[in-house]
Structure 1
Amino acid sequence: MTEAEPRLFSGSLEALSSAYLLQKALERQVDMGIVPFVPTERKLTPQGKPYFADLPALHFSISHSGRQWVCLFACQPVGIDIEQPRRCREEAIAHRFFHPLEQAWLAEHPQAFFPIWTAKESFVKWSGCGIDSQFSQFSVIDEHGALCHGNDYQFIPFVTKKGTPGTMCLSASLSDRYQTYELD
């Protein structure tokens, strides 16, 4: 597999399935010479993180919200989440899933709910730990509301071409530049 910048693929689930879009994104990378073949054997780690057993050096993460779909690929662990802002029980969700620092920031900055949520989701996808009882034990922001970067990871906020906001969590050694590709 060719070392390359992270690659973000996006598409619409209007008439297509996530599995079809993933297949299309993989085929595009084969055509570009980035991956040697389309992997077919998908498995899950004990924590539930998907990977390709027949091409384990290819890391990926998928998210969708509404009809918008994204998938991020790289040669090191990645995580991605998108969320169409919508009305929801933000306070109840934050009380259950957010760290006290995030809850305090949200109380003063209600518009921060979805950016915090997508960063948290992208982090657990990157780490492979998933949403569990530890989800409220870590904060993705500092006391000023800025996204935290760890020694091993970095957050990259982005907006899809269709306007859906999200966050990528990339292994720290990956470039914060990424290539985008539309599948529809």
Structure 2
Amino acid sequence: MSRGLPDEAGAIRLRRDLPEAEWRWITRLRRPEDRLRSLVGRVLARRLLGQRLGLAPGAVPLDTGPHGKPMLAVPTPAWHFNIAHSGDLVLVGAGPQPLGVDVEHCPDTVDADLWRLVTGRADTAPDPRTFCAHWVRREAVLKACGLGLRAEPGTLRLSEPDDGGWTPVAGRPEVEGLQVRLLQATPDHCAALCLTNTPAPGAWTLKTLALADWA
């Protein structure tokens, strides 16, 4: 996970890792901060994938999946990745199986309507961090199966986590068999990872770097 957004000079340096067509797509985003977050996420993903494929970041062949999800173009070896961002945080997951990630800053308050929308539950809304932990896990699941914003997070059902923190997911045919866990939960933000198979203990860890440490 990267913390911080680049200034103009930093953005120019990062752009060198992108094909021109991908940069043109980013420039069509309306808000400047959205352009910077997308730039950081795409470059970080390309660098992670490039290390695994033995390619320069700009040479990593990316394509768009059936629901708009970025993916490696066939016949590239089977690596998967996913990007999420919130504020100045950009989270990228990369691995040998389909996955989804999400990161969100915790809201200041949570009302009953928002709690019901995200979880499908009608009980009293909890504190913001507990809510955020529910939110990111569900968003990571919807991204892993390719549904994204086309499905309500409240339709998902999360079981109790196992000893490793992994939670089985149910509630829709598309999510059966998926496993999700929190990567991080602080008073400021939460992050989650969803996979198709439960990995070995310690196989997935979250590394947080300041933008200047990798860019």
What TM-score do you get using the length of structure 1 for normalisation?
0.71
Identical columns (%): 19
Residue deviations 1:112-135, cap 9 Å, x none?
211100010000011111123453
1:138 is the counterpart of 2:159: no
Aligned partner of 2:193 in structure 1 is: 168
**Among 35, 60, 71, the residue aligned to 2:92:** 71
1:128 is the counterpart of 2:149: no
Q: Does the residue aligned with 1:149 lie in a helix, a strand or coil?
A: strand
Higher mean alpha-carbon deviation, 114-123 vs 82-91, is at 82-91
Tell me which of the two structures has the higher relative contact order, counting C-alpha pairs closer than 8 angstroms and 6 or more residues apart.
1
Cα distance in structure 1, aligned partners of 2:69 and 2:189: 24
Offset, 1:57: 1.7
Offset, 1:89: 5.0
Cα distance in structure 1, aligned partners of 2:80 and 2:64: 12
| Contact 1:61/1:80 (8 A) holds in 2 | yes
Cα distance in structure 1, aligned partners of 2:95 and 2:113: 35
1:22 is the counterpart of 2:36: no
| Contact 1:68/1:164 (8 A) holds in 2 | no
| Runs of at least 5 residues in structure 2 that lack an aligned partner in the other structure | 12-35, 170-175
**Among 4, 7, 10, the residue aligned to 2:2:** 10
CA gap 1:24/1:124 in 2 versus in 1, 3 angstroms: closer
Cα distance in structure 1, aligned partners of 2:50 and 2:151: 39
Task: Output the amino acid matched with 2:139.
Answer: E
Cα distance in structure 1, aligned partners of 2:155 and 2:147: 13
Q: Which has the higher helix share?
A: 2
Aligned partner of 1:149 in structure 2 is: 168
**Count of residues paired in the alignment:** 165
**Among 88, 99, 107, the residue aligned to 2:120:** 99
Larger radius of gyration: 2
Aligned partner of 1:81 in structure 2 is: 102
| Runs of at least 5 residues in structure 1 that lack an aligned partner in the other structure | 1-8
| Contact 1:76/1:174 (8 A) holds in 2 | no
Offset, 1:73: 0.5
| Contact 1:81/1:167 (8 A) holds in 2 | yes
| Contact 2:104/2:191 (8 A) holds in 1 | yes
Cα distance in structure 1, aligned partners of 2:54 and 2:177: 27
Cα distance in structure 2, aligned partners of 1:137 and 1:160: 23
What TM-score do you get using the length of structure 2 for normalisation?
0.63
Aligned partner of 1:48 in structure 2 is: 68
Offset, 1:156: 2.2
Residue deviations 1:12-53, cap 9 Å, x none?
22435333443244235534xx223242332132x3322122
